[in-house]
A and B are shown apart, each in its own frame.
Chain A
């Protein structure tokens, strides 16, 4: 178990280091950053000054190790546009994105767990087919379009909910629903598949032979085993949702980390862009590692892998 744990953590650290390198390379792709920071009306001397001030005249390798070294200690540099610490900016905006992501995940689980379980229990009935059709619909629905449609319906026609901002809790309702919608198809499909597999296994046959009630078989025996992959997938989905929330934050004008990244991309504020990519990737790596470890604790058969 300890060996598995150490191995898994080393891989996670290596992935994080690679992501760090990629995020750095990504922002350097555009060529001379000093020119884009100095702006369109800058003279040669201005560009030179910017280059000196931000240390862009140093070799790329030096710049990278300088940035990476500071990033490990939590210092992500300074934003050119906002004129403040990147870590402070991200820390300020993170609660909005986390609230959105977690409420989206809760909504997605509340919808897809019962749907997946019922579809599996009633495999090949009209209900099961209906659920499969709903997941297909959900997969094809562009989330930004769904967001706009819900804004028209609930914001304008019915006037129930605000269409932007987070002054009060109800500003999160529509964005969380849209975000949940993107995770529901995958979660439902996997819950259904896991339950079908569990329902066909030997221990369920034994439980049936013992004469246990149907409810007890489904809830106590099958669900417990089907829950293992669902927990892992839920963690992974939360990672995807945090990464994908940029679209929804932009539509609903929620000032979270995604919105911050969107603003920074428009302003060529590359220290913020590379840091947001890094932070979101590290959260994802943390979540997947946690899911793997949790799986290993719940299901000892997986530890060898």
Chain B
């Protein structure tokens, strides 16, 4: 035990710097997402065919009106980037809520009730894991037509597995602790024990999963939009921006660099924050 403590100590400085960096990135992204309509310098949907593919500010011949240049239809890239952040965050958070509701319910019930119920939950998790996520999501959106609501529901129904796994294993641990036994003895109902004793004590683990799940959902949405079966155009999803810019990337690589870097930095930030929270709570939810 003492060894573990001493070995953890020198990491703290580096670790907490990384966590703060993550928190800062997520904070900026959340701010951009909420206030996007006020922050955008131009209308992200307005086309100006006379100003197509203007270069960003660090390159020769840029237009100070368009700091990050314009896309192939003359739409302001910075405005589309900020609007895209709103879409990414919206999808990440909503999908995490939908999948969290499904996964936590299944996991807690399985872990708490045990027996046949637990077998059924484990079976559901195994089945879910055997489905190829990207392919199934593409197929559903492709066959039903792309819309925001459908995308949110599909991803929510596909990404609950990690919530269920962690909720189940932590519930199994908590179920046998003394304070739960005490609550049983005090004559509390099953429902009360679940909501008042079990859930609050596994909540920190679930927050960590939720963070990582937001990052996963954002990456998946970008992938689906890149393949043309995610967010419908002309909405500026970062994945869709990369897809639309793909034809021009050999001549002007910045068109895929800008949305790609934004996506990478946001996902990295969320993961840094998630890892930091995990250390903070002393939880190991790595499988």
B186 contacts chain A at the CB level, 8 A cutoff:
no
One of B40-48, B58-66, B104-112, B246-254 contacting the partner: B246-254
Asked if B271 and A136 make an inter-chain contact with CB atoms under 8 angstroms apart, the answer reads yes
A243-B132, A244-B132 known; A26 vs B14 contact (CB < 8 Å): no
Determine the residue in chain A with the shortest Cβ distance to B238. Answer: A142
Residue numbers in B under 8 Å from A144 (CB-CB): 222-223, 226-227, 239, 242
Asked if B264 and A145 make an inter-chain contact with CB atoms under 8 angstroms apart, the answer reads yes
Asked if B127 and A262 make an inter-chain contact with CB atoms under 8 angstroms apart, the answer reads no
- Chain A 120-153 against B: per-residue CB contact (8 Å), 1 yes, 0 no? 0001100001000000110111111100110010
One of A42-50, A51-59, A273-281 contacting the partner: A273-281
Q: Which residues of B contact A (CB under 8 A)?
A: 7, 10-11, 14, 123, 126-127, 129-136, 138-140, 142-144, 215, 219, 222-223, 226-227, 229, 239, 242, 246, 249-250, 253, 256, 260, 263-265, 267-268, 271-272, 275, 286
Asked if A280 and B132 make an inter-chain contact with CB atoms under 8 angstroms apart, the answer reads yes
Residue numbers in B under 8 Å from A266 (CB-CB): 142
Asked if A270 and B142 make an inter-chain contact with CB atoms under 8 angstroms apart, the answer reads no
Q: Which of A29, A136, A247, A273 contacts B268 (CB 8 A)?
A: A136
Asked if B223 and A247 make an inter-chain contact with CB atoms under 8 angstroms apart, the answer reads yes
Residue numbers in A under 8 Å from B229 (CB-CB): 265
Residues in A160-218 with C-beta less than 8 Å from chain B: 189-190, 193
A61 contacts chain B at the CB level, 8 A cutoff:
no
Asked if B260 and A280 make an inter-chain contact with CB atoms under 8 angstroms apart, the answer reads no
Asked if B222 and A243 make an inter-chain contact with CB atoms under 8 angstroms apart, the answer reads no
Query: With the chains together, A11 CA to B122 CA distance in Å?
Result: 10
Report the number of A-B residue pairs with Cβ-Cβ less than 8 Å: 138
Chain A, interface size category, equals 35 or more
Residue numbers in B under 8 Å from A240 (CB-CB): 132
A284 contacts chain B at the CB level, 8 A cutoff:
yes
Asked if B135 and A140 make an inter-chain contact with CB atoms under 8 angstroms apart, the answer reads no
* Dominant secondary structure of chain A at its interface with chain B: helix
A295 contacts chain B at the CB level, 8 A cutoff:
no
Residue numbers in A under 8 Å from B222 (CB-CB): 142, 144
One of A14-22, A67-75, A79-87, A106-114 contacting the partner: A14-22
Could you list 6 further interchain pairs (A-B, Cβ under 8 angstroms) beyond the known A14-B123, A243-B132? A123-B7, A139-B215, A142-B223, A247-B226, A247-B227, A250-B227
A136-B271, A152-B249 known; A15 vs B126 contact (CB < 8 Å): yes
CB proximity of B216 to chain A, nearest CB, Å:
9
A225 contacts chain B at the CB level, 8 A cutoff:
no
- Counting chain B CB atoms within 10 Å of each CB, which of A16, A139, A190, A276 scores highest? A139
A124-B10, A243-B135, A262-B227 known; A140 vs B268 contact (CB < 8 Å): yes
Asked if A285 and B130 make an inter-chain contact with CB atoms under 8 angstroms apart, the answer reads yes
Asked if B136 and A145 make an inter-chain contact with CB atoms under 8 angstroms apart, the answer reads no
Asked if B143 and A140 make an inter-chain contact with CB atoms under 8 angstroms apart, the answer reads no
Asked if A11 and B264 make an inter-chain contact with CB atoms under 8 angstroms apart, the answer reads no
Determine the residue in chain B with the shortest Cβ distance to A185. Answer: B271
